[in-house]
Chains A and B, each alone.
Chain A
């Protein structure tokens, strides 16, 4: 069996194992670990766009909010009609409903990604940055105006289906899918698009298509992460997915070294734990992030955790 598949199975087994000693983890640690898992999903999926494909999206929180809202809507409005009261249903039913909700959220986010990506990805990277930023704003305005989704108050009383097992399992699947996608013959096209669009087009690849595929896949996982987040926090508001959230994810990708999976995961862990440690100086956190961005670009543009890679096998 290929190594990535073994790694995936091991990770899934570990995630399942975690659920069998919940007494060993205190709630605070559980909270931080869940946060880390969600951030890994977000950072690794954004890495596909910003790292491997060389585009620059600033709207990841926007896709996350689409996933969060739509999956919550499934849990709150659709599921009770199909299976009755959720808390009364069996464990398997609950799990199936949650999975369906997550996947719905992911697909809606992917659809939004397609809708945003098709016009903007035909153009250069800096346009994409602004269009995705604008998209985040539009999404917020729309959610604020849709009464059935709670308007400006947001959605409340979302069932707390998210467990550490779910988060770790989805994180493992995300890392696996992104790794296998980029490592495949097809996936070389992402790297070619990043390295030189014109040269890629000259050898018969379609850069726009690759960009859109990367964008849609990343949006899907952002949507799933949003669903996990909503069922973890139990309440969501339109302003909870603002620009700063997108920036946090971008900083993770850049800190880890764009296109470096291990570095990005490390950065996601670091940047989730850091705010906990730095709680006393929380107001300076964003200043720190922004300085970090500028200094990294000036001094170490390849990222903090990007060490010279071994030659890829095969």
Chain B
């Protein structure tokens, strides 16, 4: 039983990171109806900004960790908006396939530029935060895991407030519901889309820093796997659905941790895709999504 709870705890902390990345996929899908392939590489860039910022601030302090986190989030928000402005905005109205190919191109560009500029060899992420282990009953919780869960929950509450309590959040929901109608009532779609990219990328950056704190080896291709899994999480919860992405991320993290702890641990990278195929077969709208019919 203690082992079960321990695995559950580990799974939740991994799932919280997946959830943060999945939120970016789902929000962008909500406003633009396409899958932003480059999102997983924004996550990678976030980890690298964290790496370089982490070497400036003193190690092992809480405020240092906060500075690193905010720097990564701000940097990636700008990067996300820049990508949208340069690569996606000129293609508004183009066939989905063209936008998708562009997104893949941007993703590869970030990965391989990363390999040239940062080098392909993995780097060790600095231990920015003070670390300690807490024991609760038979359970061990590392301070990094605690930080992951707390930061992820705070960010998700923040996101919920932005989406439901602010004017720009209302505009986001309007664009997601019907872009043309939103435009007719005076919403500036370009501003909303840009803001959505910024917000999603900032969350991905936070995910990147948190991921690197727990798995302190970063390289330019580190985003690929977590990115794919977060995408599966977004589909699992229902793409375009914000609470769904959070739920999907947590579920996926827990499932993966349990598989990793079982005898089939070598298949842990394959399980996410098995889940994806099952979901697509039986409930393509996802757990919390609603099936829609395309109108002609």
Contact = CB atoms under 8 A, between A and B. Distances in A.
A144 B231 CA distance: 24
A130 B228 contact: yes
A294 B280 contact: no
Interface string B257-296: 0000000001101101110110011001000000000101
Contacts of B228: 130, 133-134, 137
A254 B284 CA distance: 29
B113 A287 contact: yes
A126 B109 contact: no
Contacts of B269: 137, 141
A112 B102 CA distance: 28
Contact of B273 (A138, A247, A250): A138
A239 to B, nearest CB: 12
A293 interface: yes
Contacts of B280: 119-120, 122-123, 127, 131
Nearest to A299: B90
Contacts of A141: 266-267, 269-270
A125 B100 contact: yes
Nearest to A58: B104
A134 B225 CA distance: 9
B100 A137 contact: no
Contact of B87 (A56, A119, A298): A298
Interface in A25-71: 54, 56, 58
Contacts of A130: 35, 228, 231, 276
Interface residues of A, number: 43
Contact of A301 (B94, B107, B272): B94
Contact of B97 (A125, A133, A284, A292): A125
Contacts, number: 113
A135 interface: yes
Contacts of B185: none
Interface string A131-148: 101110110011011000
Contacts of A142: 270
B141 interface: no
B70 interface: no
A181 interface: no
Nearest to B228: A134
B105 A137 contact: no
A291 B115 CA distance: 15
B117 to A, nearest CB: 10
A297 interface: yes
Contacts of B97: 54, 56, 125, 258
Interface of B: 34-35, 37, 87, 90-91, 94, 96-102, 104-109, 111-113, 115-116, 224, 228, 231-232, 235, 266-267, 269-270, 272-274, 276-277, 280-281, 284, 294, 296
Question: Which 10 residue pairs across A and B have the least CB separation, nearest first?
Answer: A293-B105, A290-B108, A134-B273, A294-B105, A290-B109, A286-B112, A297-B102, A119-B281, A138-B270, A126-B35
10 contacts: A56-B101, A137-B273, A138-B270, A138-B274, A141-B267, A250-B104, A283-B115, A287-B113, A290-B109, A297-B101
